[in-house]
């Protein structure tokens, strides 16, 4: 048995039908180090299709409202039946569906119902691969309030999985001490995969999906953007926070704490190397000074002016207190000599704007308050950018050349870590311009 451990997690589209099960089997058997496999529930096979988890949640909602739910349950049964027939697997699907129907009819439970997609998929994949099935109800430990008990989970995963040669573990859920099922947030199978990788001290966490890694820019805006070969955990967190979603952010957090490399791979193009996410880039990697650009629309920029804001009289602290009291999160806050700039999501600000401004006027007595709406925020990251330390200048110059107005700039110290505010109607132009600049920058080793 190989000493190396690779934990491979397959997402919903990777396991959507029998053909995808075959691809997974080929990928898994190609590398004996892929000993622990984590799976989601079958996702969409085509755009109008429904994810099994969505069908389960719909059936739960209907059962709760006392409405008939057999159409959803039949659709789920038929999806699994098709997979089983095509792969010629013997599995008591009728019996499992009877259990589900009984629980929905007698006492519908949201998390239990939602978890059945992953449970059934992992059972079936384990049979298909000839691997041991592991129910995370035994090893992903929640407390009775649905919070993960990390220490107990790590211990229990180690004890249950390390003695096994190989196993398939259902993603997305676990249980509390009483056996009650709890799920993570949607997309939470990534978290299960990361927990398994961390607990076992895996050499690699592979996250298999339907794209060949992380793009340097949003493919809905830029035509065929390049896939980034390597990026740091920090860069991934920044880009994902700003909208480039491939991996659940909690999954990145635990893997980065344990320094377990994450490799985003494409189940449909298994020869593509994908994106490798690591703490430090390996020597010799050829890297663009700009790793990627992403962003979000729907931002508001508040500017508060008062002479000598930064004179130590606690003006900024009072401002932050006002936001804290209202539990109003902000994207960032910049303090200048005579002004404070706040960037806040417009959907959160809109409902309390008038009250908030009133309170700022009363408490802080500013000289001026300004509001710019319909702004977007663009993140540009580049861990290698110190070697081309004018990368930030080039980005700003390029936006100016394109005649794109810049409403705010936040430049973190050190590496390229820029947050730029631009009007929403120029958002796409700005992303395209920065991506174009990136492609024309000299790559460094
Ligand atoms: N099946 C769950 C969802 O659709 C969890 C996951 O796919 O990670 O959100």
Could you read off the pLDDT of 410-421 as tens digits, one per residue? 987 777 789 999
Taking the whole predicted model, whether its pTM rises above 0.75 is answered as: yes
Same-fold call for 6-278 versus 292-444:
no
Q: How confident is the model at residue 386 (pLDDT cuts 50, 70, 90)?
A: low
Superfamily of domain 292-444: VC0802-like (3.30.2130.10)
Q: What is the pLDDT of residue 445?
A: 45
108-136 residue pLDDT tens = 999 999 999 999 999 999 999 999 999 99
Domain chopping of the chain, boundaries: 6-278, 292-444
Fold for domain 6-278? Carbamate kinase (3.40.1160)
Please state at what angle helix 18-30 crosses helix 110-129, rounded to 10 degrees: 60
* Ligand 1 atom closest to residue 40's alpha carbon, by position in its atom list: 7
Specify whether the CB–CB gap between 396 and 183 falls below 8 A: no
- Cβ of 189 closer than 6 Å to ligand 1, yes or no, is yes
* 249 Cα to the center of ligand 1, angstroms: 14
> Which region among 241-250, 268-277, 335-344 has the lowest average model confidence (pLDDT)?
241-250
Q: With 70 as the cut, is the pLDDT of residue 387 above it?
A: no
What's the rounded Cα separation, in Å, for the pair 172 and 192?
6
Q: With 60 as the cut, is the pLDDT of residue 268 above it?
A: yes
**Helix, strand or coil for residue 409?**
strand
Indicate the helix (H) or strand (E) that contains 398. Answer: helix 391-401
* 109 Cα to the center of ligand 1, angstroms: 17
Mutate to test the pocket of ligand 1, among 13, 20, 51 (most ligand atoms within 8 A of CB): 51
Query: What percentage of the chain reaches a pLDDT higher than 70?
Result: 95
Mutate to test the pocket of ligand 1, among 53, 171, 185 (most ligand atoms within 8 A of CB): 53
């Amino acid at each position: 048995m190989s000493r190396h451990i690779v934990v491979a997690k397959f997402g919903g589209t990777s396991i959507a039908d029998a053909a995808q099960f075959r691809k997974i089997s080929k990928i898994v058997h190609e590398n004996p180090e892929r000993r622990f496999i984590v799976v989601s529930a079958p996702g969409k096979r085509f755009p109008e299709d429904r994810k099994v988890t969505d069908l389960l949640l719909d059936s739960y909602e209907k059962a709760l409202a006392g409405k008939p739910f057999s159409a959803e349950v039949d659709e789920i049964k038929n999806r699994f039946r098709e997979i089983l027939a095509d792969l010629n697997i013997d599995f008591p699907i009728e019996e499992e569906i009877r259990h589900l129907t009984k629980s929905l009819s007698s006492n519908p439970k949201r998390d239990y119902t939602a978890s059945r997609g992953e449970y059934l998929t992992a059972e079936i994949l384990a049979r298909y691969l000839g691997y041991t099935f592991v129910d995370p109800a035994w090893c992903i430990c929640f407390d009775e309030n649905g919070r993960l008990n990390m220490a107990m989970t790590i211990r229990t995963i180690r004890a249950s999985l390390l003695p096994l040669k190989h196993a398939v573990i259902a993603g997305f859920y676990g249980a509390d001490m009483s056996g009650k099922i709890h799920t993570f947030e949607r997309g939470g199978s990534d978290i299960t995969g990361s927990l398994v990788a961390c607990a076992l001290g895996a050499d690699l966490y592979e996250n298999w999906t339907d794209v060949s890694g992380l793009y340097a820019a949003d493919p809905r805006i830029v035509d065929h953007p390049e896939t980034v070969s390597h990026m740091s955990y920090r860069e991934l967190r920044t880009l994902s926070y700003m909208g480039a979603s491939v991996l659940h952010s909690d999954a990145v957090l635990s893997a980065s704490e344990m320094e377990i490399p994450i490799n985003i791979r494409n189940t449909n193009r298994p020869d593509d190397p994908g994106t490798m996410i690591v703490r430090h880039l390996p020597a010799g990697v050829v890297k663009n000074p700009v790793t990627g650009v992403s962003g979000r629309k729907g931002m508001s920029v508040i500017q508060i002016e008062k002479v000598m804001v930064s004179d130590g009289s606690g003006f900024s602290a009072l401002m932050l207190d006002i936001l804290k009291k209202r539990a109003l999160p902000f994207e960032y806050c910049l303090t200048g000599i005579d002004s404070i700039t706040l960037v806040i999501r417009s959907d959160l600000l809109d409902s309390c704007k008038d009250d908030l401004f009133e309170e700022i006027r009363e408490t802080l007595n500013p000289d001026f308050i300004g509001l710019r709406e319909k702004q977007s925020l663009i993140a540009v990251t580049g861990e290698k950018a110190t070697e081309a330390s004018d990368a930030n200048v080039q980005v700003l110059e390029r936006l100016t050349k394109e005649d794109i107005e810049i409403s705010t700039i936040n430049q973190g110290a050190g590496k390229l870590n820029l947050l730029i505010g631009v009007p929403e109607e120029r958002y796409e132009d700005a992303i395209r311009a920065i991506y174009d600049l990136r492609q024309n920058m000299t790559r460094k080793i």
